[in-house]
DNA sequence: GTCTATAAGTGGATAGAC
DNA sequence: GTCTATCCACTTATAGAC
């Protein structure tokens, strides 16, 4: 049963952090929600930060999987679409991390380093995908443009949900699709005419 | 002297919020820093949120000024450069708002509406500038691309400092220049060859 | 493993004297 | 306008019984 309670705490914490924001959820709230005592919670975790670290480890796994280069062949536009889905859904499932990213990272040196590592991997993957598109003759960009675009892809992916919230978007699930479109549109102007037009039409259909 | 103390509280709050993050600065900390009593602070402000609202009003003025269309003539690339400076410096001076944007907005309906208004103005201004470039023949983009790019400009500008912090950048001042470059590079692929090349070279010089 | 009880501290906020 | 004193609510975290 030890394992069970531990997992239940992690699951409830994740749900409550995502719903109410990590700063607004105390260890007591979590214990209340699960109808266990605060003492019990502290038997399983040293403190709130310990819970966050365990959730981060789960998230890290998800991201590492999503960022893995999918195949041996050159990636096409459809592969990117799929990979962006995996990334945005991982972010969505652990969106509390992103909502208060700077605050959470400022409190914990280990998480800071691990998050920087994820960003580094994402940057490399973005570069690899765009190099693939270039080699496939689908995309054309200077090396400075490619590097800048990779960075912009990361920023949009990282903060899109926050932007949607700040803008006051109602339908949060719709925000994921809109975010993917935004990232794709970063690539649009570098594409060959046929693909560029195709993307312009596709995105319109995707949002409605 | 009333006015003096009130202003001193606002100034100290801004400095401390920016340095330590708004959630980590209490009304007691502010009073301590100014060597006044907590009671005195509460004579001048109803509560912490009241202080934040007053600071937001200052920020709003700065942004409104920065987002004003500068002249009667069509804007060129240099105008954009200047305007981005004004915007990024306003954000820098009130960066505590952006560090915990979602959390701060979630607590205060009025700020939520006012921030959404700023975003709307920024979006309109981004559109106007890019329309100017298009009319001047410097830029070429479909209407879907233009809209997507305007949105991406806003996201990068809004969250660039957070991204720099998450990435672990040391020199925060340098981050402003890098942010401006990132936004400019969003426009690069839409530019006429001459300007596009010019920008590629310019940005390299700007970062070093 | 889980609970009860509680210590120790923090933050927001107010009353009333000066 | 400003200070002292203080209250209340809440949070983290631990000790010790079961």
* Total number of domains constituting chain B: 2
The whole-number pLDDT of residue A115 equals: 98
In whole angstroms, how far apart are CA A191 and each of A3, A184, B23, B168? 51, 11, 44, 32
CATH of the domain at B16: 1.10.10.60
Q: Taking CB atoms and an 8 Å limit, are B156 and A154 in contact across chains? A: no
Q: Among residues B118, B175, B127, which one has the least CA distance to residue B153?
A: B127
The tens digit of pLDDT for each residue in A55-99 reads 999 999 999 999 997 776 778 888 999 999 999 999 999 999 999
Domain shared by A39 and A56, yes or no: no
How much of chain A exceeds pLDDT 70, in percent? 97
Q: Which residue pairs, CB below 8 angstroms and at least 24 apart, start in B46-54?
A: B49/B107, B49/B108, B51/B9, B51/B10, B51/B13, B51/B27, B52/B17, B52/B22, B52/B104, B52/B108, B52/B111, B53/B108, B53/B110, B53/B111, B54/B10
> B19: domain range?
1-45
The alpha carbon of residue B4 is apart from the nearest alpha carbon of chain A, in Å, by 32
Whose tokens are 């990979």? That residue is: A83
Domain shared by A38 and A60, yes or no: no
- Strand C bases with any atom < 7 A from protein Cβ: 1-6, 10-16
Domain shared by A17 and A74, yes or no: no
Domain shared by A34 and A94, yes or no: no
The alpha carbon of residue A2 is apart from the nearest alpha carbon of chain B, in Å, by 34
The whole-number pLDDT of residue A161 equals: 98
Q: Taking CB atoms and an 8 Å limit, are B163 and A158 in contact across chains? A: yes
The tens digit of pLDDT for each residue in B59-112 reads 999 999 999 977 767 788 889 999 999 999 999 999 999 999 999 999 999 999
The residues, ordered by sequence, that sit 6+ positions from A94 with a Cβ below 8 Å of its Cβ are A14, A18, A55, A56, A58, A59, A62
Residues 74-103 of B with CB under 8 A from A: 99-103
Residues 148-167 of B with CB under 8 A from A: 148-149, 151-152, 154-156, 158-160, 162-163, 165-167
The whole-number pLDDT of residue A208 equals: 64
**DSSP 8-state class, residue B139:** B
**DSSP 8-state class, residue B120:** H
The whole-number pLDDT of residue A102 equals: 98
Domain shared by A100 and A10, yes or no: no
Nucleotide nearest to A6 (CA to C1'): C1
Confidence band of A207 (pLDDT split at 50, 70, 90) = low
Chain B interface includes A116 (CB < 8 A): yes
pTM value is: 0.97
In whole angstroms, give the CA distance from residue B39 to residue A45: 39
| Summary mean pLDDT of chain A | 95
Chain B interface includes A189 (CB < 8 A): yes
Confidence band of B207 (pLDDT split at 50, 70, 90) = low
The residues, ordered by sequence, that sit 6+ positions from B41 with a Cβ below 8 Å of its Cβ are B9, B27, B30, B31, B34
Q: Taking CB atoms and an 8 Å limit, are B182 and A152 in contact across chains? A: yes
Token pair, residue A48, equals 């709130």
Domain shared by A117 and A35, yes or no: no
CB proximity B42–strand C (7 Å threshold): yes
Domain shared by B37 and B117, yes or no: no
**DSSP 8-state class, residue A74:** P
Domain shared by B160 and B62, yes or no: yes
Chain A interface includes B172 (CB < 8 A): no
Domain shared by A34 and A72, yes or no: no
Domain shared by B27 and B53, yes or no: no
CATH of the domain at A169: 1.10.357.10
Name every chain A residue with its beta carbon within 8 A of the beta carbon of B149: 185
Angle at B143 between CA B194 and CA B136, to 5 degrees: 35
What residue has its CA nearest to the C1' of C1?
A2
In whole angstroms, give the CA distance from residue A102 to residue B107: 18
Confidence band of B1 (pLDDT split at 50, 70, 90) = low
Domain shared by B8 and B98, yes or no: no
Q: Which of A116, A145, A204 sits opposite B188 (nearest CB)?
A: A145
Domain shared by A4 and A79, yes or no: no
Name every chain B residue with its beta carbon within 8 A of the beta carbon of A165: 102, 105-106
């Amino acid at each position: 049963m030890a394992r069970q309670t531990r997992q239940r705490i992690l699951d409830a914490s994740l749900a409550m952090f995502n719903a109410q924001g990590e700063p607004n959820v105390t260890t007591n709230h979590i214990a209340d929600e699960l109808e266990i005592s605060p003492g019990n919670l502290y038997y399983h975790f040293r403190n709130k930060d310990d819970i966050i670290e365990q959730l981060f480890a789960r998230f890290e796994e998800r991201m590492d999987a999503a960022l893995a280069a999918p195949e041996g062949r050159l990636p096409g536009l459809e592969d990117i679409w799929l990979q962006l889905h995996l990334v945005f859904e991982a972010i969505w499932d652990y969106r509390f991390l992103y909502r208060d990213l700077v605050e959470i990272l400022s409190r914990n040196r280990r998480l800071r380093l691990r998050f920087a590592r994820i960003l580094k991997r994402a940057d490399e993957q973005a570069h690899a995908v765009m190099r693939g598109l270039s080699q496939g003759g689908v995309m054309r960009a200077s090396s400075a443009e490619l590097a800048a675009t990779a960075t912009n892809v990361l920023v949009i992916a990282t903060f899109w949900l926050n932007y949607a919230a700040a803008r006051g978007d109602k339908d949060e699930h719709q925000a994921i699709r809109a975010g993917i479109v935004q990232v794709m549109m970063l690539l649009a102007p570098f594409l060959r005419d046929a693909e560029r037009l195709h993307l312009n039409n596709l995105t319109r259909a995707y949002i409605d």
